[in-house]
Amino acid sequence: MILIVIAQFLGTSLWFAGNAVVPEISQLLNNPGILATITTAVQLGFIVGTLLYAFLSIPDRFSPSDVFFFSSVLAAGFNLLIVVLPMHLTMIVVCRFMVGFFLAGIYPVGMKIASDYFQKGLGTALGFLVGALVMGTAFPHLLKGLDLNFSWKIVLWCTSGLALIGGAIVGLFVPDGPFHKFNLKFDLSLIPRLSKIKALKSAASGYFGHMWELYTFWAFVPVLIVFFRGSETMDSSDSLLSFIVIAIGGLSCAVGGIIAERIGSKKVAHFALVGSGICCALTLLVGGLPSWIWVGLLLIWGILVIADSPQFSTLVAQSVPAEYRGTALTLVNSMGFAISIVSIQLAQFLLKWLQIDQVLALLFIGPLLGIVLFKAFDKGKTVVKV
């Protein structure tokens, strides 16, 4: 399991690498408003990738370890093209799109590999695995926050190198798990049949509400910190705090996974989703207050905003037979990230009229709807034959 966790961390360090170097790239392009564009490019690429992977049932028809390896190599390659090719916004957007596309073979496939090794204790396993994703996502902010005068190119070189190592770890040292079942058929009717499973719809609904909030919060954390600090520019301390706010969620995923073994994934997911929704609303109250108050709120929000993710994924994996887990996980990820794009773009749009704290407070809509639908569909069996 530890090798899967390490590989997931290394591979997903690509995710926010573009965001970490946005200030430098913005200056080079003389275009300050590209944060949402670059973030959306990765998310959109991930959506297209996961849709294709799910439609073709790639994680179930082929060796998940091989899929992880080749996806890591290709994602790392497209990340490096930003350094190699002439600087142009279109080129950067295309490359980040392709990074997101091949992340579809890293994040959900990593969860598929974990589910093939663990039937009992899956909530804990996915807690550590998603925690690795969180640390990988936060890592580029750490590189910037250390203020080591790294060139933006070094950040991209480092994250690409880490992804290659992660892919090699899985490809060479992590064979397919003992509970892996191949589904060699290409079945167009599978996805419609999966959509009829109430337990799957319940878990997916909670996950979708969570995704409305998660990536918009992560993308705009640096902006929110600068706003609360009363500054107009971002410095290294802001990057370091951004890293801490995001990375602390990695610990909460692991702890939440351990707790889920005692009280169940549903209770952990429900508690975290309610708590993060409350944090959204509280954002309106802490502006102008002493820094320890708003920093504390951001840390609590960082803990709760991601702790439900591995538990919803656990519920998704448990709601379908083993031979369809890869497809179900990949499909739910795809739809969740599509929702995150709408949320990110809406947030960027609303910033024309509202302050960042007001915009992020509106994210509570996602957790609210997620909780309602999660409960409404929570009547299905754990595993349903399809």
pTM: 0.81
DSSP state at residue 232: S
Distance of CA 98 to the CA centre of its chain: 16
What lies within 8 Å, CB to CB, of 210 at 6+ separation is: 273, 276, 305, 308, 309, 312, 336, 366, 367, 370
Flag whether 183 is in a domain. Answer: no
Report the distance separating Cα 219 and Cα 117, nearest Å.
33
Nearest 10 degrees: Cα torsion 96, 99, 100, 101: 120
Flag whether 384 is in a domain. Answer: no
Helix (H, G, I), strand (E, B) or coil at 176: coil
Distance of CA 337 to the CA centre of its chain: 8
Flag whether 383 is in a domain. Answer: no
Would residue 88 be called left, alpha or beta, if left means φ above 0 and alpha means ψ between -120 and 50 degrees? beta
**The pLDDT of residue 384:** 46
What would the two tokens of residue 36 be? 């949402």
Report the distance separating Cα 309 and Cα 317, nearest Å.
12
Q: What is the CA radius of gyration of the chain?
A: 19
What would the two tokens of residue 366 be? 């996602």
How many structural domains does the chain have? 1
Flag whether 230 is in a domain. Answer: yes
* Amino acid identity, position 116: D
Tell me the CATH number at 105. Answer: 1.20.1250.20
Could you read off the pLDDT tens digit of each residue along the chain, which spans 386 residues?
788 888 988 888 888 777 777 778 888 888 877 877 887 898 899 889 988 887 787 877 788 899 999 999 999 999 999 999 988 999 999 999 999 999 999 988 887 888 778 767 778 888 888 887 788 778 777 877 777 666 788 889 989 999 999 999 999 998 876 666 665 555 556 667 777 788 888 999 999 999 999 989 998 998 999 999 887 777 778 889 999 999 999 999 999 999 999 999 999 999 999 999 999 999 999 988 899 999 999 999 999 999 999 999 899 988 887 777 777 887 898 889 889 889 988 998 999 899 999 999 999 999 999 999 998 877 644 444 55
Asked whether 201 and 315 are in contact (CB, 8 A), the reply is no
Report the distance separating Cα 345 and Cα 36, nearest Å.
7
Report the distance separating Cα 363 and Cα 386, nearest Å.
35
Instruction: Based on DSSP, count helices (H) and strands (E) in the chain, helices before strands.
Output: 19, 0
Flag whether 181 is in a domain. Answer: no
Nearest to 41 by CA among 344, 284, 268: 344
Flag whether 12 is in a domain. Answer: yes
Flag whether 358 is in a domain. Answer: yes
Asked whether 305 and 354 are in contact (CB, 8 A), the reply is no
Flag whether 180 is in a domain. Answer: no
CA distances from 207 to 214, 339, 344 (A): 10, 10, 16
Asked whether 314 and 202 are in contact (CB, 8 A), the reply is no
Which structural domain, as residue segments, surrounds residue 95? Answer: 2-175+188-376
